[in-house]
Structure 1
Amino acid sequence: MTDAPDLSFLDTPGLPAAFVAETRPRAHGAGLDLYAYDRVTAGLRSLTEWPDVCRAAADRHRAAGAAAAGEGRTRTAGEAYRTAARWYHLAGLVPHPDRAAAARIAAAADRAMGEALALLEPEAERLVGEGFAGWLRRPAGVRRAPVVVIVPGLDSGKEEFHRVAEALLARGTAVFAMDGPGQGSLAATSTFEPDYHLVVGRVIDTLRACGDVDASRVAVIGLSLGGWFAATAAAREPRLRAAALVSGPYRLDWDGVVPFVRATLAQRCGGTAAARAFARRVDLAGLAAAIEVPLLVVEGGEDRIPGVTNADLLAHQVDGAELLFVPHGNHLLGTALADWLPATADWLTARLDGPLATGPLTPGPLPTGPDAG
């Protein structure tokens, strides 16, 4: 890579403590124990140490899973493997100077999640196609279930959004948690695809061949940069029934984003020049008129990232779109899960004609204070 990003900022004094604090709600949202998170991340002197400490935590849980599996404690083994997958995923959040090492971390997360599902949900199905890889999970006791495709973001992957998947499964909806080009297990062999509707289209084609799911009822939920990918799909893939965007960007300003975001974009796009070009494509102004499916935009009032214009603008530009605004929510709203996730899962289920059909969500701020849930 001739225009590799400058990662010297990883040694900036004070950055480790700030990153640990900023990522803490995200770890909570991914299902990690926050006491364990605090122990693992305590005392970091540089963000270059982040991958190693998170990977060591993952390795411990994976070893515990193997030991439990050897003793026939299947449930315990599966849960340990699932926790390991989450820690491996967290290890990959920091831009890594060694592309091969980053690929090994992503592969470890992928492998651990597969080991977990083999024990906890043996009916889960691995789906792989051009530009995507992931797991199709079906709700227990539901035949011909609709499907929600879960699209990750900038530095994310299919191992992160367990709570989203579980909320949908509990409501009778199947989920396909995926890595797309440049994401998760595909990050080492591909780069971001701005025309993400092509990827989602191939996913839908594949779902049509799967049993016990209804590929005529498919929605998409995109988180962080995945919100932009999901909006692109909603505008250009006519088979989608609905789309939800959580903490998604409306527009990126390359010169305004922080070094961490620029470096991550460069690694996921194949170089700095490619990342600049990609950032110019991230602009929903030209897509708003083409989005005709039901649209929900979920936004946190504390989500302020330099150089990123939030997607709540889109909710005012698409006819019939709904805005679920949580004043105290941060980016990805890991600080306010109860205030958006159940309602969003209900909304998606209803738009797929699921068992919890409801009226529209009330846009605007949710209640705050001790009784807010």
Structure 2
Amino acid sequence: MNAAEFAAAQWTRATGAGVDPHEYRRVTGGLASVADWEPSFLRTGHAHVRRAANAGSSVSAGGHLLMAARWFHLATLAPHAEAHRGAAEADHALEAALALLEPGARRVSGEGFTGWLRGPSDAPGTVLVVPGLDSAKEEFIDLASALLARGLAVFAMDGPGQGVLAAGTTLRPDYERVVARVVDTLGVARVGLVGMSLGGYFAARAAALEPRVAAVATVSGPHRLDWARLPPPVRDLMARRTGGAEAAPEFARHVDLSALASRIAAPLLVVDGGRDVIPGVTNGEPLARSAPHGTYLSVPHGDHLLGNARPDWLPRLADHLAHALAGTPA
């Protein structure tokens, strides 16, 4: 895949994460090869950091730092990128942004997780935003904003093998253990979960096995993976994030919600894009059908993570979680 093809494939993911589409086109239009992706995106992130340093207000500086965090994270998406560098830069930029924009935001870390707790201390509910195979807390800033706007508290997190923790940990299928530790550390009685891509599997599994999950939503989450049919780039990425070529097929074998869906007692919203067709990945319709309180939302023109169809699902998802956790009108 050449640079133009790779940039086109990442277009809706990048713009869905909140980067300016015109800046994205300028940056990717100057790439001679995919190998240029990571350094070019890192440079763009640093340009936003410099803008923050020269900004005329803390609001402007914080906005530039949030944009820098997005670009640093997106730098990690290139094949064989030194993802640890971009993840560390993204983590630092997000921390600096929140220090300016939300001094009350609190860094919370524990065994196998780290993230930012945002929102009012007396919020009627707390939502954990769970990333996926190669995503991180910095990719879903706008999703967190939609939940915060509805009065909820939000814990945007990196778990094992994700984001800034990918440098020293690997993905694990039993994510309900991570969620349990997060809930214990936050000291809340119940939480909502929203899982993005592979995070959808993590969120649904946790909802089935952790009784303190009171609401759940998945976006482009797999119901089941078939390792033999997964495209080579997905298998290579999974091998890097799970600890090697032998660990990856074993991890994929666990990604199967067939026996767990009926145990999800919480209200569940499953969001899929009709154009999200990846060999070896069974989308979420069987999960919604098998869960006792499942609802399925398929957006025909949506692709993976539905960055090209945000109005069709993001408000509904945020309302779903707010209604289930806070009792606001659906």
Hey, what's the Cα distance between the residues in 2 that align with 1:348 and 1:217? 12
Q: Which residue of 1 aligns with 2:116?
A: 135
Q: Calculate the aligned-residue CA RMSD, in Å.
A: 1.3
**Structure 1 residues 152-180: Cα deviation after superposition (integer angstroms, max 9, x where no partner):** 01100000011110111000011000000
Point out the more displaced range, 251-260 or 238-247. Answer: 251-260
**Structure 1 residues 319-352: Cα deviation after superposition (integer angstroms, max 9, x where no partner):** 2210111111111111110010001100100000
- 1:246 matched to 2:219: yes
- Among residues 10, 20, 25, which one is paired with 2:12 in the alignment? 25
Q: Which residue of 2 aligns with 1:122?
A: 103
- 1:183 matched to 2:162: yes
Task: Say whether the 8 Å CA contact 2:218–2:270 is kept in structure 1.
Answer: yes
- Secondary structure at 1:216 match in 2: coil
Matched ranges for 1:150-299 at <5 A: 150-208=129-187, 215-299=188-272
Shift, 1:94, TM fit: 2.2
Size of the alignment, in residue pairs?
330
Shift, 1:34, TM fit: 0.4
Hey, what's the Cα distance between the residues in 2 that align with 1:264 and 1:285? 24
- Among residues 87, 93, 117, which one is paired with 1:112 in the alignment? 93
Letter in 1 for 2:6: F
Task: Say whether the 8 Å CA contact 2:108–2:116 is kept in structure 1.
Answer: yes
Q: Which residue of 2 aligns with 1:64?
A: 51
Hey, what's the Cα distance between the residues in 1 that align with 2:2 and 2:35? 11
- Secondary structure at 2:180 match in 1: helix
Shift, 1:286, TM fit: 1.7
**Structure 1 residues 187-217: Cα deviation after superposition (integer angstroms, max 9, x where no partner):** 0100001100000000000111xxxxxx224
Shift, 1:16, TM fit: 2.6
- Secondary structure at 2:200 match in 1: helix
- Secondary structure at 1:160 match in 2: helix
- Among residues 83, 93, 96, which one is paired with 1:102 in the alignment? 83
- 1:347 matched to 2:320: yes
- 1:38 matched to 2:25: yes
Letter in 2 for 1:227: G
- 1:73 matched to 2:57: yes
Using a 3 Å threshold, how does the CA distance of structure 1 residues 313 and 16 change in structure 2: closer, same or farther?
farther
Letter in 1 for 2:103: P
Task: Say whether the 8 Å CA contact 1:138–1:145 is kept in structure 2.
Answer: no
Matched ranges for 1:286-325 at <5 A: 286-325=259-298
5+ residue gaps, structure 1, are 1-13, 209-214, 359-373
Q: Which residue of 2 aligns with 1:371?
A: none
Shift, 1:17, TM fit: 2.2
Hey, what's the Cα distance between the residues in 2 that align with 1:353 and 1:80? 32
Q: Which residue of 2 aligns with 1:147?
A: 126
- Secondary structure at 1:305 match in 2: coil
Task: Say whether the 8 Å CA contact 2:123–2:151 is kept in structure 1.
Answer: no
Larger radius of gyration: 1
Hey, what's the Cα distance between the residues in 2 that align with 1:217 and 1:254? 34
**Structure 1 residues 297-334: Cα deviation after superposition (integer angstroms, max 9, x where no partner):** 01111111122111121111112210111111111111
Moved over 3 A (4+): none
Letter in 2 for 1:357: P
- Give the TM-score normalised by the residue count of structure 1: 0.86
Hey, what's the Cα distance between the residues in 1 that align with 2:162 and 2:3? 24
- 1:87 matched to 2:71: yes
Q: Which residue of 2 aligns with 1:357?
A: 329
